[in-house]
Structures are given as C-alpha cells and as structure tokens.
A and B are shown apart, each in its own frame.
Chain A
Amino acid sequence: MITVKNIEKAFNGKKVLDDVSVTFEPGKTNLIIGRSGSGKTVLLKTIVGLHNVDQGEIWFEDLLFNNLDFTGKKEIRKQMGMLFQGSALFDSMTTEQNVRFPLDMFTGLSMEEKTERVNFCLKRVNILNSNKLFPAELSGGMKKRVAIARAIALNPKYLFCDEPNSGLDPLTAILIDDLIKEITEEYSMTTIVNTHDMNSVMEIGEKIVFINEGKICWEGSNKEILSSDNEVLNDFVFANSLAKQLRASAK
C-alpha cells in the first residue's frame, strides 16, 4: 500500500501539487486521471522519488519514503517497476539486455537463470523472437511491452505507469491496459497508472483519482465515475462528442 499525505510541490514558485492526500491499494489498478498539465506526472514522479516533496509524507507500507537517504530509497526502489511515457528503454542495449539489466545489477543469478527469467518476462508480455532487436527496431507497442517486461523482471511490489497508452492505436492500447491489469492481479502489486485515456479508465480503473490544478478533485471507481455529479470531472469525462451523446441517450 502506498499512502500520500498532504504533499505539496512547486516549481519556480508555481504550485503544481497542493495538499494532495490519497491511498493506493495493493492488488488494484489505481488510476490518476486529469487534464494535461494538471499535475499527474509530477504526482507520480514525486511518489517514486524523482522529485522531492516540498511538504508532506509518502509512505510505502510503514516506511516514510521521502525521509530516507539514497541507500534507504534504493531498497524500496528495488521493489519498484516503472513504465515511462516514452518507454525509456536503453538505446544501446538489445531487448534481452534491457530486461536483463535489473537482474544483472541486483541479483546473483547465473547467466542461464537470468536468460530463463528474461525469456519468461518477454513471453509474459507476448514479445517473441525479438530478443536481439534494439529499441529503435521495435514498434511503439512493442517498446511498451518490453518496458513492462523490464519493470516486472525483479517481481516488484509496486508498478508505476506514466501514460502507458500515449501514441498507441486503440487496439494496442487495450492490450497494454489488459496486460497491466493482469500483471497487477497475478503478482498482487500496487499499481498506479497515470492516464487521460477514458477507455483505460473504464476498462481497468478499479480506483480512480481525478486531479485538477494540482488538487484531488474526486475519488471513486470506474462504476461510479459515470454517475458522478462533480462538474469538473464530468467536463473531463464527457469531453468528446461520443461521450456526450452516450450521456444524453442514457438520460
């Protein structure tokens, strides 16, 4: 479980996160949604420690993460996996080397055991016969899947995904969403997904946090989101004409 308590973050005097408090539950796909520039990515990067908080607390189970030094954070980070918006695969490494990297760095496994684990992870995300390809030779969807394989290589307790569907076609986006949900349930991970893709919200949003101008504006599930009377949330959820028509016909 990850608990965020009253965190604040500002850049050059401009407040990006304002008194944000939320709990992310294990075994669930937790979604952070909101408009572009609302503070989603900053919140996610603050939770994982890429940004330091100005105020507030971030708890991983019973450990106060933001007070830990580099070594302390390192121990928790070994239990984290993260899928970045642009995949962030290492350009100079092949698919196989990318997935093997955390195993090389933090385990004492033999080469055979590592190769076995790499192949298992790649198979789990349906990447076959691409072990020797470099990231530049992969499609957008394949890159995301390899990044997921790398993220789960060390069996993490926490999975963070920043806009996993950006730049993908709707079918590939659904595949990625399904994969994230399946992996979360399979390994009982605490997963936090940052998105503004409403399809993802409806498909995998077991817990949804809506953030607007750096503040938590609404919390609930994908079942509750359509019936909410929060105006700001409704403006976001029913922004496109198809959604508006569906809402009108439902009424």
Chain B
Amino acid sequence: MRFLEQLGLYFLLLKKVFSKPEKASIYYKQTMHEMVYLGFNSVGIISIISFFMGSAITLQTAYNTENPIYPTYLIGLGCRDSIILEFSSTISALILAGKVGSNIASEIGTMRITEQIDALEIMGVNSASYLILPKIIATLVFNPILTLLSITVGIIGGGMAGSMAGVITPEDFIYGIQYAFIPYYITYSIIKTLFFAFIITTVSAFQGYYVTGGSLEVGRASTKAVVFSSILILIFNVILTQLLLS
C-alpha cells in the first residue's frame, strides 16, 4: 500500500516537474549551471574509474583466454564489447547514482527543511519544475557524453594495461577493437544511459523533495536515493538489454 502511495506521489511530482516553465531564460541558465555541477564535475571520477576498469577487463580477458587457439586480438575485442555493452553505461550510472544522486537528494532535502522550497512556492514559482527540470535536462544531455568518454578512456586504459603487462601488442589490441565492430552497440549504450540518467535524477529529487524533519532525515533521503536509484538501474538494465538486444 505504501509502495503504491509513493509511486503515486512520484508520478504527481513528475507531472509538476513537466509543466510549462515560468520563464525559459531562467531555466536555461539553471540548466547550464546544472550541466557544470552535475555533469562536468563528474568527468574526473568517470575518467579514473573507466581507465582502471578497462585495464582490469583487458588483463582478466587475457588470463582467461590464455590458449594458443585463440588469437590475441580477441582480448581487444572482449575489452571493447564489455566496456561498450555493460561497463561504461551501467557501472558509470551506478557511480553517478552515488555521486550525483546523493547530491541532488541532499540539496533539495536541505532546501525543503530550511523552508527554501516554501519560499519559492509563496513567490508563485513551481518549485518542483524550477529545481528538478534543469537537473533532468542537464543529466540527459551530459550523461551520454560521460558514457562516450568512459568508453574512450576505458579502451585506452585497456590497451595501455595490456601492452604494459605484455599480454597483447598495441597493434593486436587496435586490430581487436576494430574487429567485427557493431555501431548499434554504441546506440544501445546511449539509450541505456538516458534511462539511467532519468532514473538517477528523478528518484533522487523525489527523495529530497518530500523530506520532512531535520538533517537526519536529509541523510536518510540521500541514502535512499542512492539505494533506490541503484536497484532501479539494475532492473532496467536487464529489461533494456532484453528489449534492445534480443
């Protein structure tokens, strides 16, 4: 019963969020601000994680295919497909659920308990739309860029780790990442990223927007935002994979 009530509240919030903005120019400024705050500021963490993720995938693939029957360029192919199909979209989304999701929930939650949201409402501003819509647009635009960055850095990391560990030559790795490449995999990864970006932003904003109480509750909302976003990302990962790759 409580689940249905929460689900209803979530969709009512979305209805408020997607109503006509008061002043487009203000929303545009906010969106640009959020792109830097939620998107650009995540470039560092995504790059570091992707680099080491790519490295680990290459080394693991190499150790698991240590057989003269398999050509070594398959290590590059395995690294590329693992990164594009799963790691760059799903693992990056889980990282962003932790970083961006907790950030959104605590920001909006603090605004709620310090009556800043009430102040917006009193002025006649649609607080849900003003606070949440720019975040949704910013993540929908920027997260695919982060995914593409993650793919690039992950493959570079894989190539470097492979050649430094002596498990594959750079030439074989480059041949491997070009071999039997299916461009649709990139589209698939971007589609998943868009779904995940929407989940992270709206679920976290929902947790923050309806906070009641004090700082303890804001902390709880922040934790819930990360947990629920992560679970939904994993569920939608399975659903989207079945729908898009079957």
Contacts and interface: CB of A to CB of B under 8 A. Distances in A.
B121 A78 contact: no
A146 B158 CA distance: 55
B115 A104 contact: no
Nearest to B20: A71
Nearest to B121: A50
A155 to B, nearest CB: 13
A89 B124 CA distance: 16
B123 A86 contact: no
B115 A77 contact: no
B123 A77 contact: yes
Given A104-B23, A104-B26, A84 B124 contact: no
B115 A106 contact: no
A80 B116 contact: no
Given A88-B114, A105-B23, A105-B26, A82 B122 contact: yes
Contact of A50 (B22, B118, B125): B118
Interface in B96-137: 110-111, 114-116, 118-119, 121-126
Nearest to A45: B118
A48 B123 CA distance: 10
A40 B26 CA distance: 35
13 contacts: A77-B123, A78-B124, A84-B119, A85-B115, A86-B114, A86-B115, A88-B114, A89-B116, A90-B116, A91-B114, A101-B123, A105-B23, A106-B23
Contact of B115 (A49, A84, A160): A84
Interface core residue of B22, B116, B123 (most chain A CB under 10 Å): B123
Contacts of B118: 45, 50, 82, 84, 88
A82 B122 CA distance: 7
B116 A88 contact: yes
B124 A75 contact: yes
Contacts of A88: 114-116, 118-119
Interface residues of B, number: 16
Given A50-B118, A84-B118, A102 B23 contact: no
Interface residues of A, number: 26
A82 B119 contact: yes
A57 B22 CA distance: 28
A21 to B, nearest CB: 23
A141 B124 CA distance: 26
A105 B122 CA distance: 13
Interface string A50-72: 10000000000000000000100
A74 B124 contact: yes
B115 A102 contact: no
A77 B122 contact: yes
Interface in A1-24: none
Nearest to A98: B119
Nearest to B16: A70
Interface string A235-250: 0000000000000000
Given A105-B22, A105-B23, A78 B123 contact: yes
Contacts of A75: 124
A224 B59 CA distance: 86
Interface core residue of B26, B115, B125, B126 (most chain A CB under 10 Å): B115
A73 B116 contact: no
Contacts of B124: 73-75, 77-78, 80, 106
A73 B126 CA distance: 11
Nearest to B122: A82
Contacts of A80: 122-124
A86 B26 CA distance: 26
Nearest to B23: A105
Interface core residue of B22, B111, B114, B124 (most chain A CB under 10 Å): B124
A73 B116 CA distance: 19
Contacts of B110: 91
Contacts of B22: 105-106
A84 B112 CA distance: 13
A105 B118 CA distance: 16
A69 to B, nearest CB: 11
A70 B126 contact: yes
B133 to A, nearest CB: 14
A105 B115 contact: no
